[in-house]
């Protein structure tokens, strides 16, 4: 069957039966569309590297490709992990090639976090958003510790105002969870709703039947950072890092923060302890410390 797929902005050739079967296997395991796209791309690149179908490669050839990704392409820690996971799935889970024993090449350095912004810097970035929608979006990402895609897909019914919680539907790993909704974020969301009346999605795209896109959200963040004059690194995801670190500094426990963030392991959340003075203050929300916290002073 001839299928034309558009991936990465280009039209792909017809999909091979092997690729169709791999995609079906991932769908049966309820993998996210993004994971499926990334895994397919990695296996396709492996096939193009050797110029043969990937199911014909031997263990030492696949291992050599991993070394190539690490040493020649110098992929980041996270990208190497994703490549390794995709190859293990393809050969171990999908093809059931038990003889395919792959070893992750030793990586140079370890996974690190970007510089954590202070609360004052975060608020400067949020206030530098060019529109009420953009400022409210950035505040919601930070105040609720959301991944950018989770914030983009928020609907009015996800806001549990009485309990000061946000319900995240099908977050990473296809898991639902609840996260924190600071009173001040709720007030700004209500003001934003009164002014804009967005409709089905709290943060719609240009076409109001669709939600705000992740690319647009990243662009909003970068432009806000530039206008704010804050020196930092990384994209909009740093606001989520700041959420976790600021809560820890305010005295919240790691287990609760891990639940808010939707981490599968406490070890992931514990990384933020490196930024925290062990003499934590009494538990409170960081946004409560901001005296002049309005994000739309002129509206």
Span 215-221, average pLDDT: 93
Fold entry, domain 119-289: hpI Integrase; Chain A (1.10.443)
CA–CA gap between residue 49 and residue 81 (Å, rounded): 19
Q: Where are the beta strands (DSSP E) in 161-270?
A: 165-171, 175-180
Read off the pLDDT of residues 92-106 as tens digits, 9 standing for 90 and up: 999 999 888 888 887
pLDDT value at position 261?
Answer: 86
Q: Is 57 left (phi over 0), alpha (psi -120 to 50) or beta?
A: beta
Report domain extents, the chain.
6-94, 119-289
Judge if pTM exceeds 0.75.
no
How would you list the strands of the sheet with 165-171, edge to edge? 159-160, 165-171, 175-180
- Given a cut of 60, whether residue 4 has pLDDT beyond it is no
Please name which of 77, 80, 57 lies closest in space to residue 68, comparing C-alpha atoms. Answer: 80
Pick the CATH number of 6-94 from 1.10.150.130, 3.90.1170.50, 1.10.10.60, 3.40.50.720: 1.10.150.130
Read off the pLDDT of residues 142-168 as tens digits, 9 standing for 90 and up: 999 999 999 999 999 999 999 999 999
User: Given the structure tokens 């902005």, which residue do they identify?
Assistant: 9
Span 28-45, average pLDDT: 91
Among all residues, which ones are annotated catalytic? 147, 172, 237, 240, 263, 272
Phi and psi at residue 197, to the nearest 5°: 45, 65
Contact call for residues 281 and 250 (beta carbons, < 8 A): yes
Token digits of residue 2: 């001839």
Span 176-186, average pLDDT: 93
Residue 254 banded pLDDT, cuts 50, 70, 90 = confident
- Given a cut of 70, whether residue 56 has pLDDT beyond it is yes
Helix (H, G, I), strand (E, B) or coil at 213: coil
CA–CA gap between residue 88 and residue 17 (Å, rounded): 20
Span 2-19, average pLDDT: 53
Residue 293 banded pLDDT, cuts 50, 70, 90 = low
CA–CA gap between residue 161 and residue 189 (Å, rounded): 10
- Given a cut of 50, whether residue 2 has pLDDT beyond it is no
CA–CA gap between residue 130 and residue 192 (Å, rounded): 14
């Amino acid at each position: 069957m001839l299928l034309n797929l558009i991936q990465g902005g280009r039209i792909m050739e017809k999909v091979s039966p092997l690729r169709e079967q791999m995609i079906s296997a991932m769908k049966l395991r309820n993998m996210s569309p993004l994971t499926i796209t990334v895994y397919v791309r990695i296996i396709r690149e492996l096939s193009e590297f050797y110029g043969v179908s990937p199911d014909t490669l031997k263990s030492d050839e696949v291992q050599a490709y991993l070394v190539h990704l690490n040493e020649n392409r110098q992929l980041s820690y996270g990208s190497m992990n994703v490549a390794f996971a995709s190859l293990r799935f393809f050969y171990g889970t999908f093809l059931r090639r038990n003889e395919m024993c792959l070893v992750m090449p030793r990586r140079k350095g370890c996974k690190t976090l970007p510089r954590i912004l202070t609360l004052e810097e975060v608020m400067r970035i949020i206030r530098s958003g060019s529109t009420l929608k953009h400022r409210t979006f950035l505040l919601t990402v930070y105040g609720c510790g959301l991944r950018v895609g989770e914030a983009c897909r928020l609907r009015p019914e996800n806001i549990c105002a009485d309990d000061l919680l946000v319900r995240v539907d099908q977050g990473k790993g296809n898991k639902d969870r609840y996260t924190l909704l600071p009173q001040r974020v709720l007030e700004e969301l209500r003001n934003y709703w009164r002014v804009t009346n967005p409709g089905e999605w709290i943060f719609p795209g240009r076409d109001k039947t669709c939600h705000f896109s992740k690319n647009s959200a990243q662009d909003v963040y970068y432009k806000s950072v530039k206008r704010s004059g804050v020196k930092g690194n990384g994209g909009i995801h740093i606001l989520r890092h700041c959420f976790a670190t600021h809560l820890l500094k305010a005295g919240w426990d790691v287990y609760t923060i891990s639940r808010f963030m939707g981490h599968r392991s406490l070890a992931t959340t514990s990384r933020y302890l490196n930024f925290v003075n062990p003499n934590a203050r009494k538990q409170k929300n960081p946004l409560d410390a901001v005296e002049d916290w309005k994000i739309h002073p002129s509206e």
